[in-house]
Amino acid sequence: MIVGNMALKHRIVFPPLTRNRNDDDHVPLPLMVKYYADRASTPGTLVISEATSVSHLEEGQDNIPGFVSESQVAAWKNIIDAVHAKGSFYFQQIWGMGRASFPKFIAKKGLKYRSSSAVAMEGVDATPEEMTEEEILDVIQSFVDTARRVIAVGGDGVEIHAAHGYLLDQFVSDAVNKRTDKWGGSTENRSRLLLEVVKAVVDAIGAERVALRLSPFAAFQGAEKSDIVEQYLYIIKELKKMDVPFAYLSLVEPAGDPGTIVHNGKTVNQDKTLDFILEAWNNRSPVIVAGGYCPNTAAWALEDHYRKWNALVAFGRHFLANPDLVFRIQHGLELNKYNRPTFYLAKNEVGYNDYSFSKEHMAAHPNV
């Protein structure tokens, strides 16, 4: 199936997963090359990177990556080349972190702890400062510059992260964004930064290299919306007005809220579905859905619930635990179990490259 400029060979996607295996300067460690290449081992797979900061100002947590300095870009190039060498495809997920940065970590670096508004995140003992207009324009430029760097070293495209309470979502959410200027105060204004970023990146690298991730229902990091339907139908309407061939839209189902499934947070909106967005989007591009899938439920989703749409399914936890997940699903093989306590073990091999390929894969591809 065609997604953007890519001819994918199946509908299983390796989605963005924060794994904290970058060094203290936010440079990918060499062990990440094998990790990504292994998950690209079935040719024609779409591999999406973990969320990557668009500027040093947004490198707000330990051991998450950036795509800015020469050493960061060079390290990512090795990863991109390794994925391509497997005959697979590569998108870089790019973000700002805003108030999801760790305040003490940011303070140690002398950076400003900032967000759309001066609204503290629940459970965090610090209040961000409201960003100035100059800082907002600078963020848009950072997304553009980073997207250009990704393409310059061979990436197939970028996925703009506007989900899960990170910086762009902090502008979309009326629980976080209390601004009264043109960047807040109404559905239109709260959507402005996200849409400006998308437009600017499309202009810079071409729409077929641009994707967008949204999590309409997630409560993770407090980015709730009081009128989800109105907010997202507006965003979809404006994206459609751009009349460009986006690579894909990535949508997180209620069951995929990382607040619930990774961080044991509150469970919200579980009775809701993405249907209203999919109807409005009406197959303008393929969509990737994520929501704690296993092989059986994914088959049902593609063949039944999402059959009207050009859908692909993301597997986060199962793909991190099964480098040959695609092969295993195609051959009906059992899956390795994931080990949650090692998901975020900073800079550590444990729980990272120690998940095995199936013996069937090893027999069929002895050199992988």
Residues engaged in binding ligand PHB (CB under 6 A): 18, 51, 163-164, 258, 262
CB count in 10 Å sphere of residue 238: 16
Residue with tokens 């670096």: 109
Cα–Cα distance between 9 and 257 in angstroms, integer?
A: 28
Min dist. Cβ of residue 9 to ligand PHB (A): 26
Question: 3-state DSSP helix/strand/coil percent for the chain, to nearest 5?
Answer: 40, 15, 45
| Smaller CB separation from ligand PHB, 86 or 256 | 256
Min dist. Cβ of residue 124 to ligand PHB (A): 14
Cα–Cα distance between 133 and 114 in angstroms, integer?
A: 12
Question: Which one is catalytic: 36, 90, 113, 166?
Answer: 166
Min dist. Cβ of residue 213 to ligand PHB (A): 7
**Cβ atoms 96, 166 nearer than 8 A:** yes
Sign of CA dihedral 81, 83, 87, 93: negative
Nearest CA among 7, 105, 123 for reference residue 57: 105
| Smaller CB separation from ligand PHB, 52 or 72 | 52
Q: What are phi and psi of 161, to 5 degrees?
A: -90, 105
Cα–Cα distance between 62 and 27 in angstroms, integer?
A: 11
Decide if 166 is catalytic. Answer: yes
| Smaller CB separation from ligand PHB, 54 or 204 | 54
Cα–Cα distance between 256 and 262 in angstroms, integer?
A: 9
Residue with tokens 């050493």: 71
| Smaller CB separation from ligand PHB, 254 or 258 | 258
Q: Letter for the amino acid at 260? A: T
Which residues on adjacent β-strands are paired with residue 214?
251
Q: Letter for the amino acid at 48? A: I
**Cβ atoms 135, 114 nearer than 8 A:** yes
| Smaller CB separation from ligand PHB, 51 or 194 | 51
| Smaller CB separation from ligand PHB, 51 or 57 | 51
* Catalytic sites, residue numbers: 166
